[in-house]
């Protein structure tokens, strides 16, 4: 059996179908949240404040990122048997005309970040003084104690989205930046 549909009804049916397809095709997909991508960090600045209140700053820089030129790190000189306040800054200096301070973003997203430390030689591992909103460690503000005169190394690793409840949270998450310094304790 063949149905004879008049032209206006056919046109109206096609218009309804086309409108429905256009409406569903143009809807924004809100089901997928935007990815929280790790920050681009090219520079790490360590600010050591001694008991006398004087601050010395040392820098690690890898402005062309991984795979390019090797990073450059200042050699750190500290006094023996001294406790320092160590404050850490992060920057994106990949574009010299638009340097970005990433430190505030790391602090603002403290629950998603963790600073991990490794020390050898005459340095103790820095003690974290600051925490995130949940009371878990962050590490932008630390205390570092030197031992007897000698040589050491200090590594600073900024983790993105670590599992702070894990037995070793420093092996979880992604690494935003890892900076290594040679240290002379005198």
Sign of CA dihedral 79, 86, 167, 131: positive
Task: Name 179's Cβ contacts closer than 8 Å, sequence gap at least 6.
Answer: 44, 60, 71, 73, 155, 156, 157
Q: What is the pLDDT of residues 31-63, one digit of tens each?
A: 544 455 556 899 999 999 999 999 999 999 998
DSSP state of 51: T
The H-or-E segment that residue 142 falls in is strand 141-145
CATH 1.25.10, applies to 43-185: no
User: Is the separation of the CB atoms in 147 and 185 below 8 Å?
Assistant: yes
**Residue 31 has what pLDDT?**
52
- Beta-ladder partners of 159: 114, 175
Q: In the structure encoding, which two tokens stand for residue 143, read together? A: 């205390």
**Residue 33 has what pLDDT?**
46
**Residue 37 has what pLDDT?**
58
161: left (phi over 0), alpha (psi -120 to 50) or beta: left
Report the Cα 54 to chain-centroid distance in Å.
28
Nearest to 80 by CA among 50, 58, 53: 50
**Residue 96 has what pLDDT?**
87
**The overall pTM is greater than 0.75:** yes
Q: What is the pLDDT along the chain (186 residues), one digit of tens a residue?
A: 555 555 555 544 544 555 555 555 555 555 544 455 556 899 999 999 999 999 999 999 998 776 788 999 999 999 999 999 999 999 999 888 999 999 999 999 999 999 999 999 999 999 999 999 999 999 999 999 999 999 999 999 999 999 999 999 999 999 999 999 999 999
Strands 76-78 and 174-185, bridge-based pairing: parallel
**Residue 34 has what pLDDT?**
47
**Residue 67 has what pLDDT?**
73
Task: For residues 161 and 164, give the distance between their C-alpha atoms in angstroms, rounded to a whole number.
Answer: 9
Lookup result for tokens 């962050």: 138
Sign of CA dihedral 155, 168, 88, 40: positive
User: Is the separation of the CB atoms in 63 and 94 below 8 Å?
Assistant: yes
């Amino acid at each position: 059996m063949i149905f004879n549909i008049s032209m206006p009804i056919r046109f109206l049916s096609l218009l309804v179908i086309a409108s429905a397809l256009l409406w569903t095709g143009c809807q924004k997909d809100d089901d997928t949240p935007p990815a929280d991508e790790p920050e681009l960090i090219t520079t790490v600045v360590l600010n050591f404040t001694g008991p006398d209140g004087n601050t010395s700053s040392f820098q690690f820089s890898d402005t062309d990122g991984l795979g390019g030129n090797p990073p450059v790190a200042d050699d750190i000189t500290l006094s023996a048997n001294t406790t320092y306040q160590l404050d850490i800054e992060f920057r994106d200096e990949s574009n010299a005309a638009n340097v970005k301070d990433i430190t505030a973003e790391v602090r603002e997203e403290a629950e998603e970040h963790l600073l991990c430390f490794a020390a050898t030689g005459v340095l103790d591992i820095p003690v974290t003084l600051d925490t995130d909103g949940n009371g878990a460690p962050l590490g932008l503000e630390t205390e570092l104690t030197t031992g007897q005169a000698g040589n050491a190394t200090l590594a600073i690793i900024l983790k993105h989205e670590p599992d702070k409840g894990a037995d070793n949270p420093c092996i979880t998450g992604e690494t935003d930046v890892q900076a290594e310094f040679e240290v002379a304790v005198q």
